Amino acid sequence: MSELTLLLIRLAFLAVLWFFVIAAVGVIRTDLFGSRTAAAAPARKAPKPVKPPAKPKKGEPRQMVVTGGPLQGTTITLSETPITIGRANDATLVVTDDYASSRHARLFPQDGQWIVEDLGSTNGTYLDRSKVTRPTPVPLGVPIRIGKTVIELRK
């Protein structure tokens, strides 16, 4: 057995050891860098829209983002459709929150503006710090609080 063979065995073993460590990190990379499939899957599954929705004009919000609460990170692309929020299954954004009502609030577009309307909820809807008592226009980036959930409109 030559020195060279032993040297090669030695280096090969160390390399294999490190390969194992790297493979182990590979197994859990979704933990470390976040899941990529979750974002990609719906995009692949969704059928191509027949007609691309009319591009919102400048200064108009394009998406609604949940910035707080259990659904944090959820985004909803805004179109012409009104958005309902609540615990009911038919709401656009279904929140599982003891502080939200089944049909809690509604967001709808009007004349290029999005309006928030409280649908008679028990604990109320708050735009920034003030309670929404009647349909109120929502400026960009102002938080709307529904129970534990906070959402805002973004470009």
Partner 1 sequence: MSVPTVSAPGAEAVPLPAKRRVAQLVMLASAVLIVMAAYAAVGMGIDQKIPSGMLTYGLGLGGFMLAAYLVLARFAPWADPLILPLVTLINGLGLVMIYRLEVGAGGKGGASATSQLLWTAVGVVVFSVTLIVLRDHRALQRLTYTAGAAGLLLLVSPLLPVLGQEINGARIWIGLAGFTLQPAELAKLALVIFFAGYLVAKRDVLALAGRRLLFIDLPRARDLGPILITWGLSLGVLILQKDLGSSLLIFGTFIAMLYIATQRTSWVLIGILLFVGGAILAGLAFDHVQARFEVYLNPEDDALYRRELGGSFQLMEGLFGMSQGGILGTGLGQGHPGLIPLAFSDFIFAAIGEELGLTGLMALLMVYGLLVERGLRTSIAARDPFSKLLAGGLSFLLAWQVFIIVGGVTNLIPLTGLVTPFMSQGGSALLANWILIALLVRMSDAARKPPPQAIQDEGLTQVFQR
Contacting partner 1 (CB under 8 A), which of 33, 42, 57, 134? Answer: 42
Angle at 25 between CA 23 and CA 31, to 5 degrees: 140
Cβ closer to partner 1: 70 or 135? 70
Does 7 help bind partner 1 (rule: CB under 8 A)? yes
The residues near 139 (Cβ < 8 Å, ≥ 6 apart) are: 153
Q: Is 21 in the site for partner 1 (CB under 8 A)?
A: yes
The C-alpha angle 108, 144, 61, rounded to 5 degrees, equals 50
Minimum distance of partner 1 from residue 51's CB (angstroms) = 8
Binding mask 79-118 for partner 1 (x = CB under 8 A): xxx-x-----x--xxx------------------------
Give the shortest CB-145-to-partner 1 separation in angstroms.
18
109/105 Cα distance (integer angstroms)? 14
Three-state SS at 77: strand
Indicate the Cα dihedral angle 23, 25, 26, 31, nearest 10°. Answer: 160
Q: Shortest Cβ distance from residue 118 to partner 1 (Å)?
A: 20
* 154: nearest Cα among 62, 84, 89: 62
DSSP state of 21: H
Find residue 105's DSSP bridge partners: 85, 118
| C-beta closer to partner 1: residue 48 or 57 | 48
Closest distance of CB 69 from partner 1, Å: 11
The contact set with partner 1 (CB under 8 A) reads: 1, 5-7, 9-11, 13-14, 16-18, 20-21, 23-25, 27-28, 31, 37-39, 41-42, 45-46, 49, 53, 66, 70-71, 73-81, 83, 89, 92-94
